Amino acid sequence: MSNVTFYRWEDMARERVSDRLDRRLITGERLMLAHVYLKKGCVVPRHHHENEQITYVLEGALRFRLGEDESEEIIVRAGEVLHIPPNVPHMAEALEDTLDVDLFSPPRRDWLDGTDAYLRDAPDAASNA
């Protein structure tokens, strides 16, 4: 018998990370797949990680600012995909209520062990204005 695992998103509990961000995680040995639910105005502060990241927006829109000085801006809308190589500083702001699929390789250890304080204590866009 194989070690295949089947998941159904709607059967999985949503983890409340902050007032404006929830997620569901599926983790394999070398890959993590996440549904990330961001309310309009949610800000993911600038951070970087060793993980390669692919973000696929299913609903809504995210504004990414990339680089140490956040000088590169890309808006990713429903049906669009952004690839972020390892160790590239980036931040994101939800321009509307958004559902995205994030893939990480390797899996995000900080998301699994709860040491992702940059997300849990994140301000919203209104408090950054």
pLDDT digits 0-9 by tens, 55-114? 999 999 999 999 999 999 999 999 999 999 999 999 999 999 999 999 999 999 999 999
Asked if pLDDT for residue 129 goes beyond 80, the answer is no
- For all residues of the chain together, what is the average pLDDT? 93
Domains contained in the chain, CATH given: 15-128 (2.60.120.10)
Asked if pLDDT for residue 123 goes beyond 80, the answer is no
Edge-to-edge strands, sheet with 52-59: 15-18, 21-27, 32-38, 98-105, 52-59, 81-84
8 Å CB contact between 121 and 21: no
Burial of 27 (0-12, 13-18, 19+ CB in 10 A): middle
